[in-house]
Amino acid sequence: MKTVSTIDQIRKARARLRGSVGFVPTMGALHAGHESLIARALKENKHVVVSIFVNPTQFAPGEDLAKYPRTLKADLKRCQVAGASLVFTPTSEIMFAKGHDTWVEVEHLGKPLCGQFRPGHFRGVATVVCKLFNLIQPTRAYFGQKDAQQALILTRMAQDLNMPIEVITCPTLREADGLAMSSRNRYLSPGERERALIISRTLFEIQRRYEKGERDVSHLLSVMESSLGAEMDEVQYAEIRRLSDLGELESLNDEPALAAVAGFVGSTRLIDNVVLAPAKRPAKRKNPQA
Amino acid sequence: MKTVSTIDQIRKARARLRGSVGFVPTMGALHAGHESLIARALKENKHVVVSIFVNPTQFAPGEDLAKYPRTLKADLKRCQVAGASLVFTPTSEIMFAKGHDTWVEVEHLGKPLCGQFRPGHFRGVATVVCKLFNLIQPTRAYFGQKDAQQALILTRMAQDLNMPIEVITCPTLREADGLAMSSRNRYLSPGERERALIISRTLFEIQRRYEKGERDVSHLLSVMESSLGAEMDEVQYAEIRRLSDLGELESLNDEPALAAVAGFVGSTRLIDNVVLAPAKRPAKRKNPQA
């Protein structure tokens, strides 16, 4: 496994990789969720490139940029064990050189949910991932469903900008008790860690009710709000939106929907979501006699 | 020469071109200025790809999108004669499919000069050129100095987004009497065509005064304004700015500057510019005895 930090180095190292390339962009502080993305990328591509970059442009003022966990040595070890060929670890000065003036924005998809609470966040994400895509030129890129809005935005960006890259969204990995894996979980005290479970428990309850036939969005929302409010210190949003474009919904029908939550437990901001989609019917047998 | 219109077709046709590719994006209504870009691209690359697309997202409401000249048959002939290998002629529906939501913006460079008068113009330009760059994947792309701000913005975009593309700005081509070539010149009546000459005459006069040693920006600006005002129906701007970042200047020093004009003659909007840069000193001979 090779580790490089500059634009010239990553271009040269990338040019040496023949065959398909899977790319896993990260902010480091890697956990089993990231490892599952690398494993998937390795299964579907000849090589895997991982980037580790805490992107300052996706943190709003007052957010946790300064204290975001930096665990480079452990991260590189995990990348190596997981089978990455190449890791790109640029500095902010390399990614955002003096005079940088270009921004990529996915306009409507970036407005609701986290977009309301993190000004500039998705613009920062889209810009840095666009830059990384152009540097790495992957065949496929892998993101986690835990950051559902980010995955939708980056899928849209690659399509809208005609990038020859397949963006793949992979299932959320969870701890044994249901908590969605996140680099920010390490901020939680034991008591907060226990209270944080309300998020996944609430989302699973919504999914259970949906599967039992509940289709009334306002009813499901009131269940979410009262459940989350009992344990979280602040609920930023608890919403159910159309999965395809994050549009608002009054009732659930055949279109898949996203039930998504963000808020604080102590001073830690956590997000999670589940997809509400009709169960796939078994394919009709063409010839029932066969 | 091959002509294609869909995303699939251009991707396949591009994949068949081996070796370096020069790209000349246009809005059609081709003239000798465009031909000079194709000729330069042909000199520096194995293949030349031309796009012909009147990009609706770079026209503000009330501008000349509907009446912008469409001369596809003549354009294709010019491309063929000039030596293009491949011409891409998509429709708006192909370039901006339903649900398109991603925009590329070069923030500060897009604000002054034309940016003040054409809301959304450079955002539309940067977005469509980003898309075309990703589809064509050229080695080099060629733009005219006549659209100086556009050329600066696209050079910045390619650099900031780490696109592996060299953006090359080529000299403005002029009619024998000095008028900068433009697809919009055909809108001019004979009387307007005559009055439009004030633009290049004024800019050449500014250049002459600069070369004679004038360095006072406010003095040069007052010369520009009174000269242009005598013949143009509306002067949108007549400015002298630093060439590197379009920043404001009080006096001219060793840094190259741009003297730029935009405004109306009749109902036709025209732009033009000259670069004010110190004459290059002859290289010092290392050994005067040799």
Cross-chain CB nearest to B106 (options A11, A101, A109): A101
The answer, yes or no, to whether residue A145 has pLDDT greater than 90, is yes
CA distance A39 to chain B (A): 27
CA distance B17 to chain A (A): 16
Question: What is the per-residue pLDDT across A214-259, written as a single tens digit (0 to 9) for each?
Answer: 999 999 999 999 999 999 999 999 999 999 999 999 899 889 999 9
CA distance B155 to chain A (A): 11
Q: B105 vs A105: CB contact, 8 Å cut-off?
A: yes
Instruction: Look at residue B97 and give its three-state secondary structure.
Output: coil
**If DSSP states are collapsed to H, E and C, what string results for B137-189?**
CCCEEEEEHHHHHHHHHHHHHHHHCCCCCEEEEECCCECCCCCECCHHHHHCC
CA distance B130 to chain A (A): 7
CA distance linking residue B79 with residue B51, whole number of Å? 10
Mutation pick from A23, A132, A134, A149 vs chain B, by most beta carbons of B within 10 Å, is A134
Mutation pick from A136, A162, A165, A242 vs chain B, by most beta carbons of B within 10 Å, is A162
Q: Which of B18, B22, B20 is nearest to B37 (CA)?
A: B22
Architecture of domain A183-275: 2-Layer Sandwich (3.30)
The answer, yes or no, to whether residue B282 has pLDDT greater than 70, is no
Residues from chain B that touch A134, judged by Cβ atoms under 8 A, are 161-164
Closest residue in chain B to residue A131, using alpha carbons only: B161
Q: A11 vs B164: CB contact, 8 Å cut-off?
A: yes
Is the CB of residue B221 less than 8 Å away from at least one CB of chain A? no
CA distance linking residue B48 with residue B168, whole number of Å? 14
Cross-chain CB nearest to A100 (options B100, B134, B160): B160
The answer, yes or no, to whether residue B283 has pLDDT greater than 80, is no
For the structural domain made of A2-170, what CATH number should be given? Answer: 3.40.50.620
Q: Output the average pLDDT for chain A.
A: 96
Domain boundaries along the sequence of chain A: 2-170, 183-275
Q: What confidence score (pLDDT) does residue A280 get?
A: 78
Total residue count of chain B as it appears in this document: 290
Question: What is the per-residue pLDDT across A59-96, written as a single tens digit (0 to 9) for each?
Answer: 999 999 999 999 999 999 999 999 999 999 999 999 99
pLDDT band at A290 (very low <50, low <70, confident <90, very high): very low
Is the CB of residue B245 less than 8 Å away from at least one CB of chain A? yes
CA distance B260 to chain A (A): 22
Contacting residues for B258 by C-beta, under 8 A, at least 6 apart: B148, B240, B241, B242, B243, B246, B273, B274, B275, B276
Question: What is the per-residue pLDDT across B223-233, written as a single tens digit (0 to 9) for each?
Answer: 999 999 999 99
Q: What confidence score (pLDDT) does residue B290 get?
A: 40
Question: Tell me, what DSSP letter sits at residue B233?
Answer: S
Helix-strand-coil percent breakdown of chain B, rounded to 5? 40, 20, 40
CATH class held by domain B183-274 = alpha beta
The answer, yes or no, to whether residue B91 has pLDDT greater than 50, is yes
Share above pLDDT 90 across residues of chain A, in percent, rounded to a whole number: 94
A positions 61-90 inside 8 Å of B (CB): none
Residues from chain A that touch B126, judged by Cβ atoms under 8 A, are 102
pLDDT band at B287 (very low <50, low <70, confident <90, very high): low
Q: A160 vs B7: CB contact, 8 Å cut-off?
A: no
Residues from chain B that touch A99, judged by Cβ atoms under 8 A, are 156, 245
The answer, yes or no, to whether residue A286 has pLDDT greater than 60, is no
CA distance linking residue B141 with residue B124, whole number of Å? 18
* Better-predicted residue by pLDDT, A240 or A282: A240
Contacting residues for A159 by C-beta, under 8 A, at least 6 apart: none
Does A2-170 match A183-275 in CATH topology?
no
Q: What confidence score (pLDDT) does residue B286 get?
A: 55
CA distance linking residue A126 with residue A49, whole number of Å? 18
Residues from chain A that touch B136, judged by Cβ atoms under 8 A, are none
For this structure, is A108 an active site residue? no
Q: What confidence score (pLDDT) does residue A250 get?
A: 87
CA distance linking residue B246 with residue A60, whole number of Å? 28
Q: B105 vs A107: CB contact, 8 Å cut-off?
A: no
Question: What is the per-residue pLDDT across B32-78, written as a single tens digit (0 to 9) for each?
Answer: 999 999 999 999 999 999 999 999 999 999 999 999 999 999 999 99
Question: What is the per-residue pLDDT across B138-196, written as a single tens digit (0 to 9) for each?
Answer: 999 999 999 999 999 999 999 999 999 999 999 999 999 999 999 999 999 999 999 99
* ipTM given for this complex: 0.95
Question: Tell me, what DSSP letter sits at residue B66?
Answer: T
Q: Which of B235, B170, B239 is nearest to B206 (CA)?
A: B239
Question: At B260, which helix (H) or strand (E)?
Answer: strand B257-265
Residues of B designated catalytic: 34
Mean pLDDT, rounded, for B100-115 = 98
pLDDT band at B250 (very low <50, low <70, confident <90, very high): confident
Closest residue in chain B to residue A155, using alpha carbons only: B102
Is the CB of residue B94 less than 8 Å away from at least one CB of chain A? no
Cross-chain CB nearest to B134 (options A105, A109, A161): A161
Q: A162 vs B135: CB contact, 8 Å cut-off?
A: yes
Residue pair A80/A1 in contact by the 8 Å Cβ criterion: yes
Tokens 């999914």, residue located = A207
Residues from chain B that touch A152, judged by Cβ atoms under 8 A, are none
Q: B156 vs A101: CB contact, 8 Å cut-off?
A: yes
Is the CB of residue B104 less than 8 Å away from at least one CB of chain A? yes
Contacting residues for A62 by C-beta, under 8 A, at least 6 apart: none
What is the number of other CB atoms lying within 10 angstroms of the CB of residue A278?
12
Mean pLDDT, rounded, for A137-152 = 98
Cross-chain CB nearest to A102 (options B101, B134, B157): B157
Is the CB of residue A105 less than 8 Å away from at least one CB of chain B? yes
In the A/B pair of chains, how many CB contacts fall below 8 A?
73
Q: Which of A241, A251, A253 is nearest to A277 (CA)?
A: A253
CA distance A19 to chain B (A): 16
pLDDT band at B265 (very low <50, low <70, confident <90, very high): very high
Q: B131 vs A105: CB contact, 8 Å cut-off?
A: no
Q: A108 vs B101: CB contact, 8 Å cut-off?
A: yes
Q: How big is chain B by its Cα radius of gyration, in Å?
A: 20
Q: Which of B143, B154, B141, B14 is nearest to B87 (CA)?
A: B14
Mean pLDDT, rounded, for A105-121 = 98
Mutation pick from A103, A166, A245 vs chain B, by most beta carbons of B within 10 Å, is A103
Q: What confidence score (pLDDT) does residue A282 get?
A: 65
Residue pair B50/B26 in contact by the 8 Å Cβ criterion: yes
Closest residue in chain A to residue B103, using alpha carbons only: A105
**Between β-strands A102-106 and B102-106, what pairing exists: parallel, antiparallel or unpaired?**
antiparallel
pTM: predicted TM-score of the whole model, two decimal places:
0.95
Cross-chain CB nearest to B102 (options A7, A99, A106): A106
Print burial letters for B158-195: b (CB count within 10 Å at least 16), e (below 16). Answer: bbbbbbebebbbbebbbbeeebbbbbebebbeeebbeb
Strand order in the sheet with A268-276: A234-242, A257-265, A268-276
CA distance linking residue A130 with residue A104, whole number of Å? 8
What torsion, rounded to 10 degrees, do the Cα atoms B133, A130, B122, B273 define? -70
Give Cα separations from B182 to B32, B193, B194, B224 (angstroms).
Answer: 9, 12, 15, 21
